A = this chain, B = another copy of it.
Amino acid sequence: MFLLKRKLRQLMLNPPRVLALGFAGLILIGAILLNLPIASKSGESIGFINALFTSASSVCVTGLVVVNTGEYWSLFGQIVIICLIQMGGLGFMTLATLVALILGKKITLKERLIIKEQLNQETMSGLVKLTRYVIFSTLAIEGLGAFFLSTRFIPRYGFVKGLWFSIFHSISAFCNAGFDITGNSIVPFKGDIIVNLTIAFLIIIGGLGFSVYIDMSRHKRFNRLSLHSKLVLMITLILIIVGMILFYLIECNNPGTLKTLSTKERILSSFFQSVVTRTAGFNSIDMSKMKDTTTFVMIILMFIGGSPGSTAGGIKTTTFGAILLTTFTVIKGGRNVVAYKKRIPQEIIYRALAIASIGLFLVTIISMILTISEDANFLDLLFETTSAFGTVGLSRGVTPDLSNFGKVSIMITMYLGRVGPLTMAFAFAKRQKNSIKNYRYSEGNILVG
């Protein structure tokens, strides 16, 4: 009895495990609600696998769908979905803190630890303040986004529907979810500057991570920001620009995508597609008509994803940055990885290496399994798997036709991509208690490359 209690306490004191199980629980609750007949417009239940898939896709803010969100689900279903997105995006623990705050109770150290893990915040102090800040800024930003969107949606869809559409898409964009209820993503608005820019900025802000905003609001100048914030901003900027240029250059002669557009629309679409590809999963252009080259570029962008502690998935911009910096350091013959006059410790580099390899391994294994179980083009399956891992939600149209086995595989990939492969490993792997013992080993050289 005492042993059981201690085991239970140990479990609860392992924040990655609580995080992993919490997400799983939320997905299950969502699946039960979406499985109800009233969740669909037709009044018939969608079936458990599809309900589970949609719930997982919502909670993991992925946006891969088996049915068209706008056409299939009833208002009740859509509300369940957007709530799951908001909870998944903000992190269920932040929500738990909100509840705790409202009830006026003090949160425990254990709960603080979990929120810390969730937000990747290094310092323990001010976590309650941080959580309050996170929730209020999220609501403020989403409100502002919904306002801008409503200026275009209300004239088109009428007041009630237009307002609902504005709120839904603002939350979906800020949480980097990529769910849409227009029926065809934002293809109908591909030339509309306000809709494109609002959604793009909601996605960018949502994908930077809260620690970066806090840093930015404290230190107004770039030079004074922390190394983390500098790297996040720089890599994000580089990825957006490179993606935009590649997308423009490769697709500008493709009649299925950019060729028929005006120069203004081409630039806007390229910018938009570059921004959303890394994590958000909206599309203003038909994905299945893209060239293989662009598809491959997008697979890489999706794999990299957004920034840590944000609503985005993927291996994260800083992981990519750390690998890039290490590579340049080795080429130049240096021993230490230096960025903005700060040395990045070995521990972080090893961690980045591990995250990238686990990510690559996961995407590879799942794509391989899908090439056996599904009857589809390899590139499309790789695209869909990476989209799930990066919790992006872009699709080349394969997802609705997946077998149940394929749906479960993609579901697992979304879940692992959202929780983070390393967090997952930390949650369930037996960890070395004392790694100091390794110091007694002598160095052994190997030749690489």
Chain A residues with a Cβ under 8 A of chain B: 120, 122, 211, 226-228, 231, 250, 291-293, 295-297, 300, 308-309, 315-316, 318-319, 321-324, 326-327, 329-355, 357-358, 364, 367-368, 371-372, 378-379, 420-423, 425-426, 429-432, 435, 438-439, 441-449
Contact = CB atoms under 8 A, between A and B. Distances in A.
A323 B423 CA distance: 19
A257 to B, nearest CB: 15
Contacts of A332: 429-432
Contacts of A345: 443, 445
Given A226-B444, A342-B444, A349-B353, 10 more contacts: A227-B446, A293-B368, A296-B368, A318-B446, A326-B353, A326-B357, A333-B431, A335-B347, A346-B346, A351-B449
Contacts of A339: 444
Given A316-B449, A438-B338, A327 B364 contact: no
Contact of A336 (B300, B358, B438): B438
A323 B420 CA distance: 19
Nearest to A420: B449
A117 B324 CA distance: 25
Nearest to A232: B446
Contacts of A349: 349-350, 353
- Most B Cβ at <10 Å: residue of A322, A347, A445: A445
A343 B443 CA distance: 4
A348 B330 CA distance: 10
Interface centre among A226, A333, A447 (most CB of B within 10 A): A447
Contact of A435 (B228, B333, B430): B333
Contact of A442 (B297, B331, B343): B343
A355 B422 contact: no
Contacts of A337: 350
Given A353-B326, A422-B330, A432-B332, A441 B343 contact: yes
A336 to B, nearest CB: 4
Contact of A334 (B228, B308, B435): B435
A208 B433 CA distance: 37
Given A326-B350, A332-B430, A342 B441 contact: yes
A296 B443 contact: no
Contacts of A347: 335
B432 A327 contact: no
Nearest first, the 6 A-B pairs at minimum CB distance are A342-B444, A227-B444, A330-B354, A355-B449, A333-B431, A336-B438
Contacts of A295: 378
Contacts of A446: 227-228, 231, 318, 321-322, 344, 348
A154 B312 CA distance: 64
A319 B449 contact: yes
B334 A438 contact: yes
Contact of A318 (B226, B297, B378, B447): B447
Given A343-B438, A444-B340, A449-B420, A357 B323 contact: yes
Contacts of A319: 448-449
Contacts of A338: 438, 441
A444 B308 CA distance: 16
Contacts of A300: 364
A7 B122 CA distance: 51
Contacts of A231: 446
Contacts of A441: 336, 338, 341-343
